[in-house]
Amino acid sequence: MSKLKKLLVTSEVAVILLCLITGVAVLAAPPADPPDGTPTINNVKVNRYLLKEGDVLIYGDYDIPYDYPETQPPADSAYIFRLIDDDGEVGIITPFVYFDNGYNKGVFAFYFESGFEWGSPHIVRISQNPAVFETPESWDYGITPSAYTTACTHEDNSMQLTLNIITAAKRMKTAYPDYTFLEPSAGGTIFSSPTGENYFRGVIYGIQAMAPYLFLVQPVIADLEAREWTTDEWDEYAERFTGTWVEEDTEATAEQFGMTTPGIMALIFVLPISLGAIITTSIKFRRIEPGLVFAILVMTGSLLMGWFPGAVYAIILQFMAIYIAYLWFYSRG
């Protein structure tokens, strides 16, 4: 008998808890009131090639007017944005809840990696969720042909998106004057932190890669391809005076000594000037470093004129690197 009583008590407790849980769930999601005006979609823009070839981003402003949004269920549970073409629904999102419980002014975005029919007629439909509204309504807004960008490169589309989002952020600032969405930086206008960054990251996933100039810290893709080193630049320097009187005179001088033009010019001009600088600074300042700096400048200028052997220049730089390493790691004990 005692076991039966315990079983009945346990069942009653379970029923009471179930009722309480059900009641709390119902209280947490009350039916939504009708909006205090007509929900609208404005300033729709369409860009592509933002993250990959063939992708499309559709974005714009919405307004779901409520005088007391805090008394309503969150907008992402009460309203749905649908993108519709001639064949039916092609995309669905919900408002990003950040200001006013997701109601009133806000920004929305649809992103398609591929498969979007560019330029075809599309409608953005604001729908009420049947689970929240007893008699759900919907409002349709067509995307005009002028909303589609004419830009065909990633750089141009990224810049257009950057400018359009800055304008949208300014409209959000007008709607929510107590918040800061943008701030100046050395590189231009960027999102403020945390409000601007957090809001637009939530609205447009991947916006930092789409429009990196809106962020103070920008992602950079490292170029990991192996670089092929050539002597093309040096060859161009060596031919600087080709076909001129300078070439004729220097070649004539080199022939008299049985040397190449860079070799004879280095012997006649570069070597005396460099050694003179090193000797002068060692006597006057008791140091050869100023003379070495002057010498490398003379050699670099002569190299650009084609009057200094490139191989010799490379060897001298290596010796200088060894000498600098000696000064840093050994000479100071």
Note the pLDDT of residue 174.
97
Note the pLDDT of residue 4.
43
Q: How many CA atoms lie within 13 A of 302 on its CB side?
A: 26
At residue 39, φ and ψ (nearest 5 deg) are -60, 140
* Domain locations in the chain as residue ranges: 40-214, 232-329
Helices (H), 92-227: 154-175, 195-203, 207-210
- Alpha-carbon span 252 to 260, nearest angstrom: 10
CA-atom Rg of the chain in angstroms: 36
Render each residue's pLDDT in the chain as its tens digit; 333 residues.
454 444 444 445 444 444 444 444 444 455 789 999 999 999 999 999 999 999 999 999 999 999 999 999 999 999 999 999 988 999 999 999 999 999 999 999 999 999 899 988 999 999 999 999 999 999 999 999 999 999 999 999 999 999 999 999 999 999 999 999 999 998 899 999 999 999 999 999 999 999 999 998 876 666 778 888 887 887 787 787 888 888 888 888 888 888 888 888 888 888 899 899 999 999 988 888 888 889 889 888 888 888 888 888 888 888 878 988 888 888 765
Are 202 and 99 in contact by the 8 Å Cβ rule? The answer is: no
Integer angstrom CA distances of residue 197 from 109, 161, 182, 255: 15, 15, 9, 70
- Closest Cα partner for 317 from 303, 330, 333, 329? 303
- Alpha-carbon span 48 to 112, nearest angstrom: 9
Note the pLDDT of residue 21.
43
Are 200 and 207 in contact by the 8 Å Cβ rule? The answer is: yes
Is the pTM here over 0.85, yes or no?
Answer: no
